[in-house]
Structure 1
Amino acid sequence: MLSVGRIAAAGCRSCQTILRNLLNPESSVFESRANFKVRQQLKLRCSHCYFIRVDGRWEVRCTEYAKHHQKEPFNVKLLW
């Protein structure tokens, strides 16, 4: 028969692994995110890149490579 200490220790180990799995971020969550580079001068990097205007700013999007995404910096003077 298991003692209370062994049962508690086994329970703590399983809790630790569950917490560790919950606290560690999944790598696939970050891979799907499209991070735009903010650049003064935008340029097309491949044949799949194209320009698009979104909320008054020019952006470069790419259907093939997400790392080609770029956008113009935000113009603060347009707020006033």
Structure 2
Amino acid sequence: MPNIKSAIKRVKVNEKNNAQNTAVKSSVRTAVKKFEAAAVNHDENAKELLASAVKQLDKAASKGLIHKNAANRQKSRLMKKLSAHA
């Protein structure tokens, strides 16, 4: 643990931000997995799950948790899966 007050604060802030970022990334992955499972099973709620996954990907990209192009690539792949299983 650092001795300097500002360094102590940085450690605390970094830990808090890391926990928040981890939670958001986890929820994005969960939303994507839920949609993929629904798409494979031809569930009627696949479109709503797709919308939820896309929204979470956009939010994560806007906050800088994942790169904008990576989010767009994932969204494109999800759309392809929806149309393939429709």
Report the TM-score range of the alignment, normalised by the length of the smaller protein: 0.3 to 0.5
Which structure has the larger Rg over C-alpha atoms? 1
Considering fraction of residues, name the structure with more helix.
2
Q: TM-score scaled by structure 1?
A: 0.37
Considering fraction of residues, name the structure with more strand.
1
Q: TM-score scaled by structure 2?
A: 0.35
Q: Quick one: higher RCO (CA 8 Å, sep 6+), 1 or 2?
A: 2
